[in-house]
């Protein structure tokens, strides 16, 4: 029988979010209902609220979540009621040309639940990134549930569902950071800090944190940066070169999503080095680069969506490393809040006061 739960919706462009009663249908074939235990507040939730993603209001916000599977629909074999899972927005299809070539992390046909959650009056909701986890329960495709070790705290494990995975994956999966590398990370918010943590895990020898906010640089050092550059005061490219014997870094990770920081990343890498763009640009942004420099420097210029992660491969592994004390994911949880505090959390995020506010249910 359909259930009534509390959930946070964005009713219309730039309108304040509010807690409403959400109707969650029983899971149909291939679907699962998950009892949410924790869900982080991400920039993407704010972008939905601002109408920056699309106009499919009302949205059911929230997508960096962990919880326990309550029920599953017909034909679901990958998870069972009682499983502790992290939700993902890359439920791979297994059939598309990327999947068939053995590259499911690029799946071009990821899927979500087929049925709709609604408001009490029947209005259909658009769940953020096909998840909608600022709610006591949510309906997802079973493939969006990745089983991990239940010894991990939900508020920590859930963060792997989005920003933290994007950053760690940008370093390890996309950038291929390895033992002995020098890495520069431009922009040390949640994503950049996760890239720093990932670089450290991968054995980088030098990790240079670049930001315009000294508070962010201090935090980056706590998470593993070996050097910092305040790019409001110093030329970032010069500073990175100086710290790398005049060469530039092997891997430069851009975690801001702006043309000027991308340009810094481009010029701050060593010959044959790699630039990874994980910051998300807006449609108006453009960049001009001398083509001869693009050619002459060799190496690669890459983008990283969701850290090129494969949830079934990466989430359980990263949770295990965390439980072994090798990945301090707790450092990303700045505060725990309730469903009623999300507007306030957006405000703090906007002012750079928090890495992550996490809703506990
Ligand atoms: N140079 C260096 N750092 C900058 C600059 C700049 N010109 N402008 C902003 N920053 C820093 C901010 O001070 C902040 O520390 O970049 C960081 C951005 O962090 P957050 O706003 O917390 O964003 P985060 O969640 O880390 O996401 C970063 O990745 O997934 C995308 O949409 C996301 O584009 C965003 C990026
Ligand atoms: Zn696919
Ligand atoms: Zn997110």
Digit-by-digit pLDDT tens for the chain (361 residues) are 899 999 999 999 999 999 999 999 999 999 999 999 999 999 999 999 999 899 999 999 999 999 999 999 999 999 999 999 999 999 999 999 999 999 999 999 999 999 999 999 999 999 999 999 999 999 999 999 999 999 999 999 999 999 999 999 999 999 999 999 999 999 999 999 999 999 999 999 999 999 999 999 999 999 999 999 999 999 999 999 999 999 999 999 999 999 999 999 999 999 999 999 999 998 899 999 999 999 999 999 999 999 999 999 999 999 999 999 999 999 999 999 999 999 999 999 989 889 999 999 9
Judge if the beta carbon of residue 188 lies within 6 A of ligand 1: yes
Nearest atom of ligand 1 to the alpha carbon of 213: 13
Judge if the beta carbon of residue 30 lies within 6 A of ligand 1: no
- CATH number of the domain located at residue range(s) 3-161+328-360 in this protein: 3.90.180.10
Q: What is the pLDDT of residues 200-246, one digit of tens each?
A: 999 999 999 999 999 999 999 999 999 999 999 999 999 999 999 99
123 phi, psi to nearest 5 deg: -60, 125
CA atoms of 360 and 337, how far apart (whole Å)? 6
Nearest atom of ligand 1 to the alpha carbon of 190: 26
Ligand nearest to the CA of 62: 3
CA distances from 360 to 60, 214, 286, 351 (A): 16, 29, 39, 22
CA atoms of 183 and 223, how far apart (whole Å)? 14
CA atoms of 189 and 157, how far apart (whole Å)? 18
* Probe residue for ligand 1, chosen from 189, 214, 223 as the CB with the greatest number of ligand atoms within 8 Å: 189
Domain boundaries, the chain: 3-161+328-360, 167-304
Ligand nearest to the CA of 217: 1
Ligand nearest to the CA of 143: 2
In the structure encoding, which two tokens stand for residue 346, read together?
Answer: 């957006």
DSSP string, 340-359: GGHHHHHHHHHTT--SEEEE
Q: Which fold has domain 167-304?
A: Rossmann fold (3.40.50)
Judge if the beta carbon of residue 213 lies within 6 A of ligand 1: yes
**Residue nearest atom 35 in ligand 1 by C-alpha distance:** 279
Bridge partners of 124?
A: 118
Residue with tokens 């109707």: 23
Going from the Cα of 330 to the center of ligand 1, the distance in angstroms, rounded, reads 20
In the structure encoding, which two tokens stand for residue 161, read together?
Answer: 């569902």
């Amino acid at each position: 029988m359909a259930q009534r739960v509390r959930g946070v919706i964005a009713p219309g462009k730039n309108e304040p979010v509010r807690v409403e009663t959400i109707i969650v249908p029983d899971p149909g074939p291939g679907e699962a209902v998950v009892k949410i235990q924790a869900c982080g507040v991400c920039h993407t939730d704010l972008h939905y609220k601002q109408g920056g993603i699309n106009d499919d209001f009302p949205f059911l916000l929230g997508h960096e979540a962990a919880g326990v599977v309550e029920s599953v629909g017909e034909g679901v074999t990958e998870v069972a009621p009682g499983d502790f899972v992290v939700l993902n927005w890359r439920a791979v299809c297994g059939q598309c040309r990327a999947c068939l070539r053995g590259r499911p992390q690029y799946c071009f046909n990821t899927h979500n639940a087929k049925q709709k959650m609604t408001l009490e009056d029947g209005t259909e909701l658009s769940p953020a990134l096909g998840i909608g986890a600022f709610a006591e329960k949510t309906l997802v495709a079973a493939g969006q549930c990745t089983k991990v070790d239940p010894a991990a705290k939900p508020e920590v494990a859930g963060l792997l569902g989005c920003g933290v995975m994007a950053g760690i994956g940008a370093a390890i999966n996309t950038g291929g950071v390895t033992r002995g590398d020098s890495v520069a990370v431009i922009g040390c918010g949640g994503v950049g800090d996760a890239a720093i943590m990932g670089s450290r895990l991968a054995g980088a020898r030098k990790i240079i944190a670049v930001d315009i906010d000294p508070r962010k640089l201090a935090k980056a050092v706590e998470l593993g940066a070996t050097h910092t550059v305040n790019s409001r005061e110093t030329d970032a490219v010069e500073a990175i070169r100086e710290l790398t014997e005049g060469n530039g870094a092997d891997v430069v990770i851009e975690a801001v999503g702006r043309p000027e920081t991308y340009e810094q990343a481009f010029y701050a890498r060593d010959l044959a080095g790699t630039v990874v763009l994980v910051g998300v640009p807006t449609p108006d942004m453009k960049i001009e680069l001398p083509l001869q420099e693009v050619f002459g420097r060799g190496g690669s210029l890459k983008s990283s969506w969701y850290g090129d992660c494969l949830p079934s491969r990466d989430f359980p592994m990263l949770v295990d490393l965390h439980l072994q004390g090798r990945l301090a994911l707790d450092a990303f949880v700045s505060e725990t809040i309730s469903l009623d505090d999300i507007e306030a959390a957006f405000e703090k995020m906007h002012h750079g006061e928090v890495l992550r506010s996490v809703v506990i249910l």
